[in-house]
Amino acid sequence: MIRCIIIEDEVLAQDVIKSHLQKIDRLELVGVYRNAPEAMDALRTMDVDLMFLDIHLPGMTGLHFLRTLSEPPLVILTTAYSEYALESYEFSVIDYLLKPISFERFVRAVNKVTEDRLFTAARKEKDRSPEDHIFIRSNSKFFRVNFSEIMYVQGMKDYLKIHTPDYVLVTHQTMNELEKLLPARQFIRVHKSYIAAIARIRSIYGNTVELEKAVLPIGISYKEKVMSLIERRP
C-alpha cells in the first residue's frame, strides 16, 4: 500500500484528488492539508510515501516547501499553471498534473510511482543514509562525483565521458552499468549514447535536448520517455 497525503488549499481540488485516490486500491490517503506548515508537521510524525502537492499554497508555495525538505517523499505536483513544468523537475518530481485533473491522467501519474525502480528505490532510501555521489575510476584514480555536478554522460565506443561544468572524466564503463548507479528521479536516458541530468535541461525542441552547455540528440526509442517530462495533457 502506498501512503499518500494531499496538500491543497482549494476544497474542490481536494475532493477531485480524493475521489481519484479512492478508485485505486494500492493508494491509501492518510491526510489532507491546506498549507505547508500543516503538512510539515504531518511529515515529521507519519510515514508518507507520496504527496500530491499544489504549487500555489497560501503563505509558502509548493516549490518553496520542497526546498525545505531534506528527504521528501515522492511528489506529484498539481497546479492550474503550466509555466512551472520544467522548473519543477529541479526537484525530481514524479509528475506534474494540470487542473482540472482527469482520472485517466491521474492514473498515468500514479503508474509512474509504482514502477519497480522508482518505488523500490524510494523505500530503500528511507532505510539508509541518502547517497548523493558515486566514485568514478579514471586514469587509475577514483574520483568522487556528486550527482548534482553531472550535466550529462556521453557514451563512446569503449568508454564514457562524464561531463560537469568544470571538468570531464573519462572511464571504462558501459552506459547500462552507469545508468543503474544514477538516481532514476534525477537522470534520464535520452539516447543510446547519452544520459542527461533532468535538472540541467533547459528546453526540449524537436529531436534535441538543450542543456546549459550542450545540445543532445533524442533517440527514437527514448522519445516517448523524454516527452513525458513535458506531457501535460489533462
Q: What confidence tens digit (pLDDT) does each residue in 89-110 have?
A: 566 788 889 999 999 999 999 9
> Contact, 111 vs 95, CB < 8 A?
no
How far from chain centre, in Å, is Cα 210? 18
How would residue 47 be classed by pLDDT, with cut points 50, 70 and 90? confident
The pLDDT value recorded for residue 14 is 96
- Residue 121, class by beta-carbon neighbours within 10 Å (0-12 exposed, 13-18 middle, 19+ buried)? middle
Q: What is the pTM of this model?
A: 0.53
- Give the DSSP letter of residue 61: -
The domain locations on the chain are 2-127, 133-227
CA distance 153 to 179: 9
CB-based contact 151:194 (threshold 8 Å):
no
Task: DSSP letter for 140, please.
Answer: T
pLDDT at 163 over 60: yes
Q: Are 170 and 159 in contact (CB under 8 A)?
A: yes
pLDDT tens digits for 179-205?
A: 888 988 889 999 999 999 998 999 998
* Domain 2-127 CATH (choose: 3.40.50.2300, 3.40.50.180, 3.40.50.1000, 3.30.830.10): 3.40.50.2300
pLDDT value of residue 33: 96
Return the CATH number of the domain spanning residue range 133-227: 2.40.50.1020
pLDDT tens figures, 121-140 = 555 554 444 568 888 888 87
